[in-house]
Amino acid sequence: MRHAIHVPLFGALADPRAIVDIACAAEQTGWDGLFVWDHILSPVAGEWDIADPWVSLAAAATSTGRIKLGPMVTPLPRRRVINLARETVTLDRLSAGRLILGLGTGRDIWREYSAFGDDGDPRRLARVLDEGTAALTALWAGETVTRHGAVVVDGIRITPGPVQRPRIPVWFGTNRTDGAPIERAARYDGIFPLGMDIDGIARIADAVGAVRGSLADFDIAVAARGDSDLDRLQAAGATWAVREFWPGDTPEKVLQAVERGVPHHTNS
């Protein structure tokens, strides 16, 4: 099992220099990844400083050389696919192939769509996520992409491509244990279950295995606390334990957890 830190870029953690400090400490103390939230408005009450995930991750990439980095998760329907393609390729090359891209639909409960005149209907968002991910991975592969549906790309090919082959790993965030979200994730490289207990993780692993035929080369990254039973999570199918933090947590609190080192468990 691998271990990562997951931080919101809110409040004091909106300082990109704090994110660099956390990334460097994580690398030095044996952690495997640093993931960050991707929000443009706050999902929690109050007025918060909020940082951009891509600039923050770029700063972390230039300051480290081993740990994986990525947003968990980027709502693809908020973005033009071409912008996301350029940003992900640039960050993958900057980090020498260490990017993991978390994707999802996002929700309009915090007005991250409607406040800017965008349609937050969940069915539309799911269509855009499906078509946008297909277009994004085709652009990474160097294909000339033409799509005229929920996502429009008209005869576009990009260079350069990412360092990683066959593609940058794509994980999907979801609070479901079956259905279309699981089938979508199973077509790619991993899943980031949201608000899931151990039984839910096991159901996801079974559902993904049924679609793919096996769980080989597929990651299940689960939220973990300091007291989480890592052996049970791993037995349920988890491949990553992701230590969660929340808006209002300070860089000092995160660094204290990071510097205590990777949690120990029996089946490492």
Domain ranges of the chain: 2-116+163-259
pLDDT score, position 266: 58
Strand order in the sheet with 74-75: 68-71, 33-36, 2-7, 240-244, 219-224, 190-193, 170-174, 101-104, 74-75
pLDDT score, position 120: 96
The string of DSSP codes covering 159-219 is SS--SSSS---EEEEES-SSSHHHHHHHTSSEEEESS--HHHHHHHHHHHHHHHSS-TT-E
pLDDT score, position 225: 81
Widest distance between CA atoms in the chain:
52
Q: Which residues contact 264 (CB under 8 A, 6 or more apart)?
A: none
> What span, in angstroms and rounded, lies between the C-alpha atoms of 23 and 134?
31
Name the pTM for this structure.
0.96
Looking at domain 2-116+163-259, which of 3.40.50.800, 3.40.50.300, 3.30.390.30, 3.20.20.30 is its CATH number? 3.20.20.30
User: Of the candidates 2, 170, 162, 208, which has an alpha carbon nearest to the alpha carbon of residue 71?
Assistant: 170
> What span, in angstroms and rounded, lies between the C-alpha atoms of 240 and 1?
5
User: Of the candidates 35, 129, 42, which has an alpha carbon nearest to the alpha carbon of residue 78?
Assistant: 129
pLDDT score, position 267: 54
**Taking the chain (268 residues) in consecutive chunks of 10 residues, what is each chunk's mean pLDDT?**
97 98 98 97 92 98 98 97 98 98 96 96 97 98 97 98 97 95 97 94 97 97 88 96 96 97 72
